[in-house]
C-alpha cells in the first residue's frame, strides 16, 4: 500500500479487494472538492498515503502537501507552530514565522493524530476552519489563508466527543467526508498482492533480484492477522532483504512473536453470572477470534449484519 522510493505523481493504494477499491473511488471523487476530510483507521493502514493521494488528485496538486503529527507538538507551542507568530511576540521569537497553516497555502495540510490536540486549543483551530483566516501570535490582524485541511486519527473521534475529550463542533467540521481505512485482517485477499508489491519495491531499492516466497510461506502470511497492518507487512519484507534470512525463518519468527490471545471472559456459573453486556462482549470476542478478526464473517457467525456488529464493537470499545 505504500510506494517506497517510487516517485509516482499519484500515490497508489495497492489492493484488489472491494474495500480498497471503494476507498480509492471515494478519495478520487472527494479530491475534486475543497471540503475537510477525516481519515480514520488503525495504525499502519495507510492514512497518510490516502491523504497524499487525495492531494495529488485534487486541483491543489501543484501546491504544497504538509504533514504534521499533532501528538508531537507541545501545547505551549501549538499556536505558534500552526498559526505563526511575528518577531518579538514572545521570548525567543527572533523572526517572524508563517506557521503550518500558511505554509500549506494553495495546498493541503495533513493533520495526523488530530485527536491529540489539547481541548483548550481546539476552539482556535475551529475558527481557522470556519473563517479561513489565522491570527498569528503577537498581532491582532487576521491573515486570510487558502488551505485544505485533511485530518486523520487511529481512534474514534466520535467516542472522544462522547467522553468530552474532543469538541463536537470541531468533529462535525472535520467530518464533512469520512474515509475509513480497513485493517488488513478485514481484506486478507490483498495480502498476496501487497507482498508481491513490496518484494518488487525492495528488490529495486536494494538492486537485487526479487526474493522467492514459497506457497507454504505465502499461506502462513495470509493466515496471520497483521496487528500492525500494511506497515507491518512492509517491514517484514524489508527485514527479509536487510537480514538475508530465508522467508521460512522470518515467517516462523513472525508467528512466534504474535501477540497472545487475551483470556476469554469467565463463563457463567451459579456464583458468577455474566451481565448482558459481559455476555455480548464475550460472544463478539469469540466470533472475532474464530474468524481471524474478519468482521464480515464474525457478523455472519453471530447472525447480525456487519453494521450492527461495528456499532456494538464501537460501543463496547473492542479494538
pLDDT at 83: 87
For residues 96 and 241, state if they share a domain: no
**pLDDT tens, 143-197?**
899 999 999 999 899 999 999 999 999 999 999 999 999 999 999 999 999 999 9
**309 pLDDT exceeds 90?**
no
Please report which helix (H) or strand (E) contains residue 133, including its range: strand 133-134
For residues 23 and 163, state if they share a domain: yes
Does residue 145 fall inside a structural domain?
Answer: yes
For residues 195 and 165, state if they share a domain: no
Q: Residue 231 sits in a domain of what CATH number? A: 1.10.8.60
Please report which helix (H) or strand (E) contains residue 177, including its range: strand 177-181
Q: Which residue has the cell 516517485?
A: 7
The boundaries of the domain holding residue 312 are: 276-316
For residues 175 and 214, state if they share a domain: no
Q: Tell me how many domains the chain contains.
A: 3
Please report which helix (H) or strand (E) contains residue 251, including its range: helix 247-256
* Grid cell listed for 92: 525567543
Q: Place 305 in a pLDDT band, splitting at 50, 70 and 90.
A: confident
For residues 44 and 175, state if they share a domain: yes
Cβ–Cβ contacts within 10 Å for residue 63, how many? 17
Q: How far apart are CA 59 and CA 65, in angstroms?
A: 12
The model's pTM is: 0.76
Q: How far apart are CA 168 and CA 175, in angstroms?
A: 10
Amino acid at each position: 500500500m505504500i510506494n517506497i522510493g517510487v516517485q509516482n505523481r499519484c500515490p497508489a493504494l495497492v489492493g484488489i479487494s472491494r474495500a480498497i477499491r471503494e476507498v480509492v473511488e471515494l478519495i478520487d471523487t472527494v479530491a475534486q472538492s475543497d471540503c475537510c476530510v477525516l481519515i480514520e483507521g488503525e495504525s499502519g493502514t495507510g492514512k497518510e498515503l490516502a491523504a497524499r493521494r487525495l492531494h495529488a488528485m485534487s486541483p491543489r496538486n501543484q501546491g504544497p502537501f504538509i504533514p504534521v503529527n499533532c501528538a508531537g507538538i507541545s501545547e505551549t507551542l501549538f499556536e505558534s507552530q500552526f498559526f505563526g507568530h511575528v518577531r518579538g511576540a514572545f521570548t525567543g521569537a527572533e523572526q517572524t514565522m508563517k506557521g503550518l497553516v500558511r505554509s500549506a497555502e494553495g495546498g493541503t495540510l495533513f493533520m495526523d493524530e488530530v485527536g491529540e490536540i489539547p481541548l483548550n486549543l481546539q476552539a482556535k483551530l475551529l475558527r481557522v476552519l470556519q473563517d479561513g483566516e489565522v491570527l498569528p501570535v503577537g498581532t491582532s490582524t487576521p491573515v486570510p489563508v487558502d488551505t485544505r485541511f485533511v485530518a486523520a486519527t487511529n481512534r474514534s473521534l466520535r467516542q472522544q466527543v462522547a467522553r468530552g475529550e474532543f469538541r463536537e463542533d470541531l468533529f462535525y467540521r472535520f467530518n464533512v467526508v469520512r474515509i475509513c481505512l480497513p485493517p488488513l485482517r478485514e481484506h486478507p485477499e490483498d495480502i498476496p498482492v501487497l507482498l508481491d508489491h513490496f518484494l518488487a519495491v525492495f528488490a529495486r531499492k536494494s538492486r537485487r533480484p526479487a526474493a522467492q516466497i514459497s506457497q507454504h510461506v505465502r499461506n502462513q502470511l495470509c493466515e496471520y492477522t497483521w496487528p500492525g497492518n500494511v506497515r507491518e507487512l512492509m517491514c517484514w519484507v524489508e527485514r527479509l532483504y536487510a537480514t538475508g534470512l530465508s522467508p521460512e525463518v522470518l515467517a516462523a519468527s513472525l508467528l512466534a512473536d504474535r501477540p497472545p490471545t487475551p483470556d476469554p471472559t469467565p463463563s457463567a456459573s451459579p456464583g458468577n453470572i455474566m451481565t448482558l453486556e459481559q455476555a455480548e462482549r464475550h460472544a463478539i470476542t469469540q466470533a472475532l477470534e474464530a474468524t481471524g478478526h474478519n468482521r464480515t464473517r464474525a457478523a455472519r457467525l453471530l447472525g447480525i449484519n456487519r453494521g450492527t456488529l461495528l456499532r456494538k464493537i464501537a460501543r463496547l470499545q473492542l479494538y
